[in-house]
Amino acid sequence: MSKRLFLLPCILRSLVVAICVGGCFPCLLHSAPARPNILLILADDLGWSDTTLFGTTKFYETPNVERLARRGMTFTRAYAASPLCSPTRASILSGQNPARVGITAPVCHLKTERLKAEVRPKAPANAKALICDSATRFDTDHFTLAEALKLAGYATGHFGKWHLGPEPWSPLQQGFDVDVPHWPGPGPAGSFVAPWKFPDFKERTPSEHIEDRMADEAVAFIEKHKDGPFFLNYWQFSVHAPFNAKEAYIERHRKRVDPKDAQRSPTYAAMVQSLDDAIGRMLDALERLGIADNTLIIFYSDNGGNMYNEVDGTTPTSNRPLRGGKATMWEGGIRVPAIFSWPGRIAAGARNDSRIQSTDLYPTLLELLGLKPRPGQIFDGVSIAPALEGRAFDRGPMFTFFPHQTKVPDFLPPAVSVHRGDWKLIRLFHQGENGAHAYELFNLRNDQGERNNLAAANPKLVAELDGLIGGFLRDTQAVVPRTNPDYDPTRAKPVVPGVAPIRNVTLTKESGALRVVATGGDPHFQLTPDKPIPAGKAVFVLRMKTESKGGAQFFWQEQGARPAFHRSRRIDFQPIPDNQPHDYRIKFEAKRPIQTIRLDPFPGKGTAVIDAVWIESNSGEKLQDWKF
């Protein structure tokens, strides 16, 4: 049924909302006002250990998050539906898993318009699986949470980050009356601190912080609709890149740095402080207007903390004790802080260990408001109203679908996982022998850090949980990775750790050296350091002999740079074809940490022997040495 055809019955339904609300859940809603205001605060990249809720940080300060927690219920096992932002955002608005929606990666700012996911037709010969390409727009055919609330009589406003598509896929086409700053990008335009680069949204004062401005805009919306009901969707830009903040906040936290603490970036701590400030300003406004007790507040994050960029000479944050972070299927990539507050209806200061997911927000709000889903509407989430009432609650199996492979140290191949009880099974698509799947099984009660893979010792449990995964993929009609028909096992396992053939090249070890044989046009291979190499001036050193003629190329990939290997990060050099060893010293400067090196030894067919290759700093200190 189209949105237009459904409009009339929804309008009729909205006329009786005040009568119906409260009829289904007397324990929680019997004495509740008919239509509470709703404030949904979604942080961006805020990890499970980035607040003071769980005792995992001594560096960050989040007094307003704690203030909100004192008013409501904190969930210790809340999950984003994806380890990356756009898929989780789509899951909140639709109540559906990214596998069903098709948005599985944060690519909705790209020019390519793709409403359905698809499998890539090719992959490198050393890859076992063909990975998927995400949809790049959140299809307006979805009946969104905002549309459901709008038809129930709510004023709807979206403030902050969107990242689900530009016009005609913006918030204004997805059920929101207001969208500020009406920006489709992955982060604030240019900077958190003005001057900004939003095309139609300018700073009021020099050095204005975007989160301060968004909070002011949100408060103005609250004031305008104080007689309610309103749905305020405040999706913060914080604490996503770019990494900058108020100078006064940075300096304050710089004085508090413990060099032994894994969380020690003063810039990131300052960004967390601005995030917390904005929450405080909205809480203040609700209290000042006397509507705090009639406002249901949800605080959530879209994925785990970023552990892979560099800020202030360190990583932005740490998700300890969880493994991994943003862009990984490990717990650090998907477990997030979450609070639900509704004074008089949800117990103040409560903590709940029930497992919940971002897909659950939509069906939960419908149930709390006494609203029914649209006929035929599909939810992958479930209502967590029993948990909010303080009753025993088991969400049942929970699925995370991530058919991509990100270039981070804790990477996993394309995967899908299921949580059930204390168990978590990760299926690695086609990573086993002869195209079979591989598995990682963890008991999270005993192994929160996911270090002890129990799959081999529990084959029956693996089969049982994998059966749940299979049913989920069929039910959601997920576009899944396929086996790579061009996979060549002789090229899959590196002959040298950190060195991998990519295109038209074979590598073999030969008497303490690396023999390179190029078999076609544009041959190249990659060298991956043990850890990202710090930004700055460096020297790539190569000792090589060859008889093959033609120019060579050296590329470096910087964290977050797209495309991975661009001509702006390429240096050409000319090997001497006399079959004698020569040292080639290539000086370069990286603006961000270096993830990967690419070497194109010749333009076409040829042979070379490399005796040594390393990277050293400008002062001569070895930063990485690949041993043959």
How many C-beta atoms lie closer than 10 Å to residue 565's C-beta? 18
Q: Which helix (H) or strand (E) holds 282?
A: helix 266-288
Spatial CB neighbours of 173, under 8 Å, sequence gap ≥ 6 = 140, 167
d(CA 126, CA 124): 5
Catalytic residue among 142, 158, 163, 437: 163
Q: What are phi and psi of 428, to 5 degrees?
A: -100, 110
Could you tell me the two tokens for 90? Answer: 């789509």
Which residues are registered as beta bridge partners of 560? none
Question: Going by C-beta distance under 8 Å and a sequence separation of 6 or more, which residues neighbour residue 536?
Answer: 589, 590, 617, 618
Cα distances from 361 to residues 104, 351, 478, 481, in angstroms, run 19, 18, 22, 28
Residue 424's identity, in one-letter code, is: K
How far is it, in rounded angstroms, from Cα 415 to Cα 394?
Answer: 24
- DSSP tag of 485: T
Tell me whether residue 163 is one of the annotated catalytic residues: yes
Task: Kindly name the residue from 85, 158, 419, 437 that is annotated as catalytic.
Answer: 85
C-alpha distance from residue 147 to each of 40, 140, 426 (Å): 15, 11, 35
Residue 275: CA count within 13 A, CB half-sphere: 30
Exposed, middle or buried: residue 302 (CB in 10 Å: 0-12, 13-18, 19+)?
A: buried
CB-based contact 576:583 (threshold 8 Å): no
User: Who contacts 569 (Cβ-Cβ below 8 Å, separation ≥6)?
Assistant: 555, 556, 557, 558, 561, 588, 590
For residue 10, give both structure tokens.
């929804």
Asked if 178 contacts 157 with a C-beta cutoff of 8 angstroms, the reply is yes
Distance separating alpha carbons of residues 608 and 603, to the nearest angstrom: 13
Alpha-carbon gap, residue 192 to 311, rounded angstroms? 15
The residues carrying an active-site annotation are 85, 163
